[in-house]
Amino acid sequence: MLRPAWFALLLACSPGLCAKTPPSDPGKAACAVWQRELSFARSVERHDATAFAEHVFKGAVFDANSARPTRGLDAIAKRWAPLIAGKGVRLSWYPRQVVVAGDPDLAYSSGAYLYEDLAPSANPRFVLGEFATVWRRGHDGVWRVSFDGGNEGRPATDAEVQAFHAGRQSRCPASIEAA
């Protein structure tokens, strides 16, 4: 009597029929997060609030390292609206490091950001800083921001602004791919 049930279970979980957990390849996952971080930055550079929201978990926390973090996608989208609109300010960033945790659905990225005040009399016009983001891969396989934070930055020289722009890598570095 147990044989038919066992046989049905065996067939149901034969290769190609059972749901599979994504392979635990930290280098591949880190590169996916690298690309996702760049895509997140592009959403702001392109003033695309919808794309921005697609990068953020509903329960995310931004300014996580501050005394007054912003909690939840709606509050984050509202607070970031001026940055996304890009009318008075411009924000750019990119990763310099991505590390995947022992949990293959959790990753950390960090890098540089450049804030530009577009007001003609702005002083300083450019602020250069560092950010850190915690990413989580959802059940749908998409990486989204869970926590985001950064420092307040400091005024940047013209040479530092040029170095920032020159430092962006659009492809995942080999050092991450081999991790």
**Using one digit for the tens of pLDDT, what is the confidence trace for 9-61?**
333 333 333 333 444 687 899 999 999 999 999 999 999 999 999 999 999 99
**pLDDT-derived band of residue 177, with 50, 70 and 90 as boundaries?**
low
Structural domains for the chain: 23-177 (3.10.450.50)
pLDDT for position 170: 85
**Using one digit for the tens of pLDDT, what is the confidence trace for 56-111?**
999 999 999 999 999 999 999 999 999 999 999 999 999 999 999 999 999 999 99
Inter-residue contact 107 to 33 (CB < 8 Å): yes
**Using one digit for the tens of pLDDT, what is the confidence trace for 126-151?**
999 999 999 999 999 999 999 999 99
pLDDT for position 8: 32
Counting DSSP H helices and E strands in the chain, the numbers are 6, 7
pLDDT for position 24: 63
Tell me whether strands 70-71 and 56-62 are parallel, antiparallel or unpaired: antiparallel
pLDDT for position 115: 97
- Long-range contacts of the stretch 45-52 (C-beta < 8 A, 24+): 45/86, 45/90, 45/92, 47/84, 47/85, 47/86, 48/84, 49/77, 49/81, 49/84, 52/77, 52/80, 52/84
pLDDT for position 64: 95
